[in-house]
Amino acid sequence: MNYLLIGGSSHLMDRMIIKLKKEGHRVYLLTGEQFRKSKYEKTFERYDFSYDSDELGDIFESVRPDVTVYFGAYDSVFNWKDEERTAVKYISSLMNIMMSYSMVKKGRFIYLSSEEVYGHGSREAITEDIMTSADSFKGMTLAQAENICTNYRENWGLDIFVLRLDHLYNIPSKLSDLTHICGQMCLSALSNKYILADRNSEFSMIYEDDAVEFIYKVASAEDVKHHIYNITSGKGLTEYELGEFIKEQCPDEVRLTAIDKTGKKCVLSGERFFSEFGMTARNNWTEDVGKMCSQMIKREKYFTSGIEEKVPFYKRVFDANMWVVRALIPFLENVVCFIPFFMLNNRAVGSEYFGKIDFFLFYVLIFAIVYGQQQAIFSAILAVLGYIFRQMYTRTGFDVMLDYSTYIWIAQLFIVGLVVGYMRDQIKMLRQESKETSEHLNRQIGEIKDINNSNIRVKDVLENQVINQQDSIGKIYSITSMLDKYTPEEVGFYAVEMISKLFKSGDVALYNVHGDYARMFSATSEKARELGNSVKYKEMKDMYDDLKEHRVFINRSLDARYPLMANAIYEQDDMKMIVMVWGITWERMTLGQANILTVICYLIQNATLRATRYMAALEEERYTEDTQVLKPQAFSSLVYAFYDAGRKNLTDCVILRTDVVADNMKDYYEKLKSNLRQSDYMGFMNDGYLYILLVNTKKEEVTIVTDRLKKAGISGCHVENLKV
């Protein structure tokens, strides 16, 4: 097959060329550089043209490639220092390449993208169907390039595929290879003696050799089901874990400094590729990063200063020709071993006991068994030369060559040597394939065990649900339906008790949403109050991203800054309440429990909406005219509800008595509203004075409110036990 590779000089490009040549394909190369002569692995044909050249169409027409691989995100022609200018050049170059390819309308086109199109990351493993969310200029450009490929595929009916390589890394041989996080961390450790690592940033990586194998698998497959694939190991690790490992590899003392940024999880899911092609990553990142560190430590001066250490001439010659020595060793062994066998054969001639033993045949068999077919042929040639030389002791060379028994012996020698050598090579190949298959199956067994453990946890939860019948929808409805008889405020108090009971958790909090802030309404424990009375919930990014999409937030990373589960209660599209739950065991943090929380929140929403509508219908009877000040009966009922909740440790509240009466209430109403929170309540009692109910306020905090009211000309005092 004809392969056309498009891209600048890089380690990945060289590995791809070697792989294709090894598989017996004809490789063509378009460098994208008209004048600069970079070093590449040798290819069948090389075209040094820029991507905006008019000759691109002629190149495609001349090559007519069966597969075209454009290195895209890993094309070293683009250095991305001036991102805006590079982005324009990159997109225009891709368009010219795609136009040239589409004119030929032959073969498969593969575009290599990267994980940078998901710069914002995601809480879960990122599948191919999730929309891109780049946070850099390069990432947005790569995402746009993916869209261009998709448009050409759909509109022109072309065989175009996008492969996203997830944090590609390699063992660097020069400074330009240090483009990945592993190399940059190791370089920081060598040059600065410290490493900065984010505890909260999680990602996965793919080794270069694995990436090449995956790309070739897609390129050579007869039938490919999807047009976008993630090329990844699928195994996540944090920056801090990587930093710790690199620190251990360094011989000198290196300081590892943890930085707690907001962090992001960018782990691409490879399930689509693994399930379709039956391949997983073979390389282990610990072994590869260990080799990388060892290589960089050996050449520390070069990587830290950029100055290559001068190697003596004799050493350079020796290193350059070591492959020749290694290749010649089996031949030298063959020649050396030939001498004793030649001597044994000479001594055996004419012997009564050893005359019929063919030592040359033994010699050929030994090397066929040890080294295989190649050395079997070489040893057979030496044996033939030795045999002819020995026969010439008593006969002329002409007589030996005319003797048909000589040719029969030679044929016997070569046949036995070639057959045994071939069998040895085949057995070695089968053992290697068996070893690779075994390693692959062992990895799959490990993955199946993980899946099985997860399934067992879900099964146990479902068994408990069936046995106890405490999580059934009927049970949930029977409990939540009791909320229908309460006022909106009472619904909030009894709702946290109900959730605590259903989730078997003593730590539940309910927050009312007011603009950008969520203010605590009720909580069942001190643990549930740890976020404080007022929370700027939009800054809790991981949780807010789920809540605004009407999803249940599950804190699978067990981040201490978030509750273990949370869900929002909406009124149409407006977020009104947030339910937060702590104290849940890891086994119960499942999709089933998330669905139960969703059902509970819908039922709470219905109860609250019913109570709110009922109270709205009675608004004239509950409130003083044109104000939000409750009449005595309504206020007494509200205070009783809060006192009852306070006795159950669901909330803290304080009552203030003011000197405002009904006659002068309108004069002070606006001042009262501006100095109180939205969550506080005002109302008259039977004694004629205006009272204020301060929600989620402790006694020691009363003076703050009374001082504020005093400045507004309103006097107020704390009432310990108000009779209602």
Using alpha carbons, list the distances in angstroms from residue 226 to 278, 326, 363. 15, 45, 56
> Which residues of the chain are modeled with pLDDT < 70?
35-37, 261-263, 306-314, 316, 318-320, 350, 352, 355, 447, 450-451, 454, 457-458, 461-490, 587, 608-621, 721-724
End-to-end CA, the chain: 90
Using alpha carbons, list the distances in angstroms from residue 244 to 182, 240, 294. 12, 6, 15
Query: Are the CB atoms for 195 and 157 separated by under 8 Å?
Result: no
pTM: 0.51
Q: What is the pLDDT of residue 723?
A: 62
> Which long-range CB contacts under 8 A does 465-469 form with residues at least 24 apart?
465/592
Q: What is the pLDDT of residue 286?
A: 87
Query: Are the CB atoms for 248 and 186 separated by under 8 Å?
Result: no
Closest alpha carbon to 97 in 123, 121, 63, 139: 63
Using alpha carbons, list the distances in angstroms from residue 299 to 11, 188, 294, 305, 411. 18, 14, 9, 10, 54
Query: Are the CB atoms for 537 and 511 separated by under 8 Å?
Result: yes
Provide the token pair at 18.
């070697």
Q: What is the pLDDT of residue 217?
A: 92
Separation CA 504–CA 385 (nearest Å): 89
Query: Are the CB atoms for 365 and 337 separated by under 8 Å?
Result: no
Spatial strand order of the sheet with 716-719 comes to: 629-630, 681-684, 689-695, 653-661, 716-719
Separation CA 245–CA 286 (nearest Å): 8
690's enclosing H/E stretch is strand 689-695
- Full 3-state SS string of 36-70: CCCCCCCCCEEECCCCCCCCHHHHHHHHCCCEEEE
Q: What is the pLDDT of residue 310?
A: 62
Q: What is the pLDDT of residue 635?
A: 82
Q: What is the pLDDT of residue 680?
A: 80
CB contact set of 298 (below 8 Å; sequence gap of 6+): none
Q: Which domains does the chain have, with CATH numbers?
A: 1-165 (3.40.50.720), 322-433 (no CATH), 473-617 (3.30.450.40), 622-719 (3.30.70.270)
Q: What is the pLDDT of residue 98?
A: 92
Query: Are the CB atoms for 263 and 201 separated by under 8 Å?
Result: yes
Query: Are the CB atoms for 111 and 146 separated by under 8 Å?
Result: yes
